[in-house]
């Protein structure tokens, strides 16, 4: 009985804390002196670092902890439990990390670690063979973490970091793999427990001239996809979200753009946002909507300060129907034929089928759908995996819709047939990928294909041959066809600061594999060579997609000319807003607007590593 009672109490007190986040509740404003310090003159070149005389004393940190009501944490890297030389050494905990952590949400629920650990600098790697003398150091992980449950916690962290010249980072779930969620010598704002939710059946967006009116939801910045879906089912609504159920819907996902299987119908994640509650670099807790702090409303939906909550559109419930098939190039044909998964031996037919599937991407997005593809080396040949995702279609409508593609493949000599019945399920009820930390987070590059790269036959031929070359070189070419136009976004008055290339894009494609380099063991030279090889493969894709760009949330961490690739024509305005709102450089993360003014030093020239001191360039 007793454990049950205490669990109930924890759940109940968690609800109370969530309610403390209600947007209309009076704010605990910090004193103006703390909120508006004068800008230090001259500003130090580097952020303060542990060991510096300027680094806050233990008493300073204790005092921050008191201001925060005891939610300040300091943690060793989780893998410290595997190092005999660490005070945290614990074989049983180490066995859990080695065997079971990736099957749970361990990495997403941990205060400091993240999914892709190589940006940390590998100063405390998890391994089965850790020598008695091996050392584990904090590396790129933060020194202190604020386990935030209220905007006031976030304000206190921002004020402390700004006044003490400490590097500040933001971790929500830790899905990002470009080093934006970690940083050596930093104070981290952990937004994971900003979990509030409230449904507004009839919401009217503030601001001039008739904004959105209809159902909406107020959501905490820490809600993960699976939590948002639970609420969506409860209130009979749809909240578009990332395909991976552990991603944070209202932190990095909306901040970078956010694509979903519903994007061709309802636009990007940013397009769902009607209002934001944010903490700015001066420590203020502000509302941003089209009428108030419009610059932040623009910028925060494309890179910027800390979001504590948002109000987002709630759409009617919708089913997602998914039809899947694969075909393979091998050395002997499969039986039975036709099948939903045939193997053929004719290479010309295989690559013609590859082109036909991608060409069907336009048909899919124009019908409001999302085409998921994976082309990869498989055995002695290659495999093409196809999942056509159609919101609002019944299974029989989906089969009818697909028939032209199937016929075309059959004519080419690819006997895809006898498709297994498409699956159909309420979009918000998907639970397939719930939980699980999966892989250590790979290194990849990506490209947004503008519509012209599909409709201009010579560009399309060049794009397909560049895509094929990545697969033949041993990489996986992962395509997602979607079309989040301004019309689908439905906010004609409010163009968010997201990469405008998205509005005309019909495919976001990732090139995975990184030349089979193990980022945990490769030398700096091997890594540099692998980056060069991948960049050489990406170049023809870029040539064939003029006017394209890349999706900042799923991208090469050392994307050449990243300002233009990730932010397109919005970059100048985003950088201007950033510099005006944050003259102190409180918010810094690689590849965000204005980040070229700083760099992490002492990382052996590997640009994505965060295990060094952050200094102005």
Ligand X SMILES: *[C@@H]1O[C@H](CO)[C@@H](O)[C@H](O)[C@H]1NC(C)=O
Ligand Y SMILES: Cc1cc2nc3c(=O)[nH]c(=O)nc-3n(C[C@H](O)[C@H](O)[C@H](O)COP(=O)(O)OP(=O)(O)OC[C@H]3O[C@@H](n4cnc5c(N)ncnc54)[C@H](O)[C@@H]3O)c2cc1C
Look at residue 340 and give its three-state secondary structure.
Answer: coil
- Contacts (CB under 6 A) with ligand X, residues 84-113: 95-96, 99-100, 111
Binding of residue 256 to ligand Y (CB under 6 A): yes
Binding segment for ligand Y among 12-20, 24-32, 142-150, 251-259 (CB under 6 A)?
Answer: 251-259
Binding of residue 148 to ligand Y (CB under 6 A): no
132 in Cβ contact with 85 (< 8 Å): yes
Partner in contact with 65, chosen from ligand X, ligand Y, none, beta carbon below 5 to 8 Å by kind: ligand X
- Contacts (CB under 6 A) with ligand X, residues 149-188: 149
Distance CA 198, CA 515 (A): 46
- Contacts (CB under 6 A) with ligand X, residues 288-317: 316-317
- Contacts (CB under 6 A) with ligand X, residues 530-589: none
What is the rounded (10 degree) CA torsion for 327, 330, 332, 333? 10
Between 49 and 502, CB nearer to ligand X: 49
Binding test (CB under 6 A) with ligand X, winner from 236, 396, 518, 521: 236
Distance CA 278, CA 265 (A): 28
Binding test (CB under 6 A) with ligand X, winner from 123, 163, 243, 346: 346
Binding of residue 252 to ligand Y (CB under 6 A): yes
Backbone phi, psi, residue 183, to 5°: 170, 130
- Residue 571, both tokens: 């970059």
- Residue 193, both tokens: 């427990």
* Count of residues interacting with ligand Y (CB under 6 A): 29
- Residue 205, both tokens: 């967006």
Q: What Å distances lie between residue 400 and 206, 396, 397, 403, CA to CA?
A: 43, 6, 5, 5
Binding test (CB under 6 A) with ligand X, winner from 74, 90, 400, 407: 74
Binding test (CB under 6 A) with ligand Y, winner from 48, 86, 115, 470: 115
Binding segment for ligand Y among 18-26, 173-181, 318-326, 422-430 (CB under 6 A)?
Answer: 173-181
> How many CA atoms within 13 Å lie on the side-chain side of 208?
6
Distance CA 92, CA 48 (A): 36
For 400, the enclosing helix (H) or strand (E) is helix 395-412
Partner in contact with 253, chosen from ligand Y, ligand X, none, beta carbon below 5 to 8 Å by kind: ligand Y
CA 223 to chain centre: 13
Distance CA 538, CA 541 (A): 5
Binding of residue 354 to ligand X (CB under 6 A): no
Q: Identify the DSSP state of 489.
A: H
Contacts of 589 (CB under 8 A, 6+ apart): 169, 170, 179, 180, 181, 183, 595
Binding of residue 73 to ligand X (CB under 6 A): yes
Interior angle at CA 313, CA 274 and CA 233, nearest 5: 145
Binding of residue 287 to ligand X (CB under 6 A): no
Between 154 and 386, CB nearer to ligand Y: 154
Q: What Å distances lie between residue 253 and 256, 291, 355, 488, CA to CA?
A: 6, 24, 30, 18
Binding of residue 554 to ligand Y (CB under 6 A): yes
Between 82 and 299, CB nearer to ligand Y: 299
Binding segment for ligand X among 68-76, 262-270, 467-475, 590-598 (CB under 6 A)?
Answer: 68-76
Binding test (CB under 6 A) with ligand Y, winner from 18, 155, 172, 570: 172
Binding of residue 307 to ligand Y (CB under 6 A): yes
Binding of residue 617 to ligand X (CB under 6 A): no
* Count of residues interacting with ligand X (CB under 6 A): 32
For 86, the enclosing helix (H) or strand (E) is none
Positions touching ligand X (CB under 6 A) are 17, 61, 65, 70, 72-74, 95-96, 99-100, 111, 131-133, 147, 149, 193, 236, 316-319, 346, 348-349, 352, 412-413, 418, 424, 426
């Amino acid at each position: 009985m007793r454990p049950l009672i205490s669990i109930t109490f924890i759940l109940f007190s968690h609800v109370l804390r969530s309610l403390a986040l209600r947007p209309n509740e009076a704010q605990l404003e910090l004193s103006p002196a703390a909120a508006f310090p004068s800008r230090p003159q001259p500003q130090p070149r580097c952020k303060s670092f542990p060991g510096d005389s300027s680094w806050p004393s233990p008493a300073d940190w204790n005092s921050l902890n008191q201001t925060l009501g005891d939610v300040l944490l300091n943690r060793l890297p989780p893998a410290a439990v595997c190092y005999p030389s660490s005070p945290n050494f614990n074989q049983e905990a180490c066995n859990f990390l080695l065997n079971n952590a990736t099957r749970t949400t361990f990495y997403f629920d941990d205060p400091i670690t993240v999914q892709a650990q190589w940006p940390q600098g590998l100063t405390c790697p998890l391994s089965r063979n850790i020598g008695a003398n091996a050392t584990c150091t904090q590396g790129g992980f933060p020194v202190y973490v604020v386990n935030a449950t209220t905007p006031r916690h976030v304000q206190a962290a921002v004020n402390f970091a700004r006044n003490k010249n400490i590097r500040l980072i933001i971790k929500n779930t830790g899905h990002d793999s470009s080093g934006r969620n970690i940083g050596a010598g930093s104070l981290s704002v952990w937004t994971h427990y900003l979990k509030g939710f409230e449904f507004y059946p009839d919401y009217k967006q503030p601001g001039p001239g008739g904004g959105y009116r209809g159902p909406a939801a107020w959501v905490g910045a820490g809600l993960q996809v699976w939590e948002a879906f639970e609420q969506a089912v409860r209130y009979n609504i749809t909240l578009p979200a990332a395909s991976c159920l552990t991603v944070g819907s209202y932190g990095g996902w909306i901040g970078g753009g956010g694509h979903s299987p519903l994007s061709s119908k309802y636009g990007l994640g940013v397009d769902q946002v009607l209002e934001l509650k944010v903490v700015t670099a001066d420590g203020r807790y502000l509302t941003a909507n089209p009428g108030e702090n419009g610059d932040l409303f623009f910028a925060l939906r494309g890179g910027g300060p800390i979001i504590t909550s948002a109000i987002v559109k709630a759409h009617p419930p919708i089913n997602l129907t998914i039809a899947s098939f694969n075909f393979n190039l091998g050395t002997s044909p499969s039986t039975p034929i036709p099948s939903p998964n045939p193997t053929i031996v004719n290479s010309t037919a295989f690559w013609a089928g590859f082109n036909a599937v991608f060409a069907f991407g336009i048909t899919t997005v124009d019908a409001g759908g999302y085409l998921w593809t994976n082309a990869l080396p498989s055995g002695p040949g290659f495999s093409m995996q196809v999942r056509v995702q159609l919101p609002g279609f019944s299974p029989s409508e989906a089969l009818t819709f697909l028939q032209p593609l199937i016929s075309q493949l059959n004519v080419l000599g690819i006997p895809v047939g006898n498709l297994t019945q498409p699956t159909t399920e309420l979009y918000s009820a998907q639970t397939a990928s719930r939980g699980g930390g999966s892989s250590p987070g790979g290194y990849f590059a990506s490209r947004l294909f503008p519509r012209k790269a599909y409709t201009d036959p010579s560009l399309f031929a060049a794009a397909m041959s560049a895509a094929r070359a990545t697969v033949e070189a041993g990489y996986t070419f992962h395509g997602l066809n979607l079309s989040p136009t301004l019309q689908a976004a439905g906010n004609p008055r409010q163009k968010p600061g997201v990469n405008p290339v998205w509005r005309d894009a019909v495919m976001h494609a990732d090139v995975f594999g990184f030349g089979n380099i193990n980022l945990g063991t490769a030398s700096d030279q091997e890594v540099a060579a692998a980056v060069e090889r991948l960049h050489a493969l990406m170049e023809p894709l870029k040539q064939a997609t003029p006017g394209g760009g890349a999706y900042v949330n799923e991208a090469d961490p050392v994307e050449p000319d990243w300002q233009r690739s990730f932010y397109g024509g919005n970059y100048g305005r985003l950088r201007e807003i950033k510099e005006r709102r944050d003259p102190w450089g409180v918010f810094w993360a690689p590849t965000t607007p204005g980040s070229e003014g700083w760099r992490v030093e002492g990382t052996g020239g590997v640009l994505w590593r965060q295990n060094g001191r952050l200094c102005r360039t």
